[in-house]
C-alpha cells in the first residue's frame, strides 16, 4: 500500500468513526485538506475497495471500512493516544483509595471509565458473581445496534464472557495486548464487534484480564490506551479484577 492509500484509508476510518455513515470521496477531498483532487481520491478509494480494505454497502453510497481495513489501521497506521492528565489522576486516586476493597473498586472503575469514554461499561470480579454495568442505553443508541441481530451478538458475547475467562487469559498470555476485529473474535460470532484484551499478572502471581468490547467503529487508540493504563494501575496491587468496558 502506498503512502497515499494509507492516508486515504486513515481518513475514511476517522470519518466513519465520527459519523457512522458511509464516506464519500468528496468528503475526504474537501474536509481533510489532502491536496488531492476528488478524482484522485476516487481512484485511490477504488484501489482500496478492490484490495478489500473498504466496501460500498449499497449503490450510490460512500465507503465503509472492512475488517481488513481496520486490521491494517490498527497494526500499521494507528498512533498511540495518551490519556489526559485528569483521567490518569482520577483513575490513580480510586485505585489507591479502594485497592483493599475489590468489589467497590470494580464498580467504581467501571463507572468512571464509562463517564470518561461517554460509553457503556461493565465490570466484575473473577472470584465473584457480582457484575455491574453503567450506561447500557448508550450502546443501544449507537447506529450499529439499531439492528436486532447486532444487539443479540453483543448481548450473547457479554452474557457468556465470564465462562471464557480461562480461554481469554490463555489467548492473552505472553502478549501485551490483543485486538480482535469482527470475525477474528475467539469467543464466537461477533462480526459487528471488536474486542481489545490484555492479560494481567499481579506481583502475587494471580492472573486476570482486561477486555474492551464495542462496535468495530470504536476509537481504537483511546481504548487501547485505557486498557494499558488500567492494566498498569491494577498490576501494582494484589487485585484479581475482570473489567469489561463497552466503548
Map out the domains of the chain as residue ranges.
Answer: 3-77, 85-246
Q: How far apart are CA 212 and CA 172, in angstroms?
A: 13
Matching CATH topology for 3-77 and 85-246? no
Taking only the tens of pLDDT, the chain with its 247 residues reads 899 999 999 999 999 999 999 999 989 988 988 888 888 999 999 999 999 999 998 887 899 999 999 999 999 999 888 888 888 888 888 777 776 666 676 677 777 777 776 666 666 566 666 666 777 777 778 888 888 888 888 888 777 776 776 777 676 666 678 899 999 988 777 888 888 887 766 555 666 677 778 888 989 998 889 888 888 877 654 344 555 555 5
Let me know the angle formed at the C-alpha of 167 by 151 and 127, rounded to the nearest 5 degrees: 85
Q: Give the separation between CA 168 and CA 154, rounded to whole angstroms.
A: 17
What pLDDT is recorded for position 100? Answer: 61
What the block records as the C-alpha cell of 33 is 485538506
Fold of 85-246: Beta-Lactamase (3.30.450)
What's the pLDDT score for residue 66? 97
Q: Report whether CATH 1.10.260.40 matches the domain 3-77.
A: no
Q: How far apart are CA 70 and CA 142, in angstroms?
A: 19
Tell me if residue 181 falls in helix, strand or coil. strand
- CB distance 12 to 34 below 8 Å: no
- The position carrying cell 496491587 is 237
Amino acid at each position: 500500500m502506498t503512502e497515499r492509500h494509507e492516508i486515504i484509508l486513515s481518513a475514511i476510518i476517522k470519518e466513519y468513526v465520527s459519523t457512522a455513515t458511509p464516506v464519500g470521496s468528496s468528503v475526504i477531498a474537501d474536509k481533510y485538506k489532502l491536496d488531492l483532487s476528488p478524482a484522485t481520491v476516487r481512484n485511490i478509494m477504488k484501489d482500496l475497495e478492490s484490495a478489500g480494505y473498504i466496501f460500498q454497502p449499497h449503490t450510490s453510497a460512500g465507503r465503509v471500512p472492512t475488517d481488513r481495513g481496520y486490521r491494517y489501521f490498527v497494526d500499521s497506521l494507528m498512533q498511540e493516544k495518551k490519556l489526559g492528565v485528569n483521567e490518569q489522576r482520577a483513575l490513580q486516586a480510586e485505585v489507591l483509595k479502594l485497592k483493599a476493597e475489590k468489589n467497590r473498586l470494580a464498580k467504581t472503575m467501571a463507572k468512571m471509565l464509562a463517564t470518561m469514554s461517554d460509553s457503556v461499561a461493565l465490570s466484575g470480579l473473577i472470584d465473584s458473581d457480582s457484575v455491574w454495568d453503567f450506561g447500557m442505553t448508550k450502546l443501544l443508541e449507537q447506529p450499529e445496534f439499531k439492528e436486532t441481530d447486532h444487539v443479540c451478538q453483543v448481548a450473547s458475547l457479554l452474557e457468556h464472557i465470564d465462562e471464557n475467562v480461562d480461554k481469554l487469559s490463555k489467548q492473552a498470555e505472553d502478549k501485551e495486548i490483543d485486538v480482535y476485529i469482527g470475525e477474528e473474535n475467539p469467543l464466537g460470532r461477533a462480526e459487528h464487534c471488536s474486542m481489545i484484551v490484555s492479560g494481567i499478572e499481579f506481583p502475587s502471581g494471580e492472573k486476570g484480564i482486561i477486555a474492551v468490547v464495542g462496535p468495530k467503529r470504536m476509537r481504537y487508540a483511546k481504548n487501547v490506551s485505557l486498557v494499558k493504563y488500567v492494566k498498569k494501575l491494577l498490576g501494582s496491587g494484589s487485585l484479581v479484577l475482570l473489567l469489561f468496558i463497552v466503548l
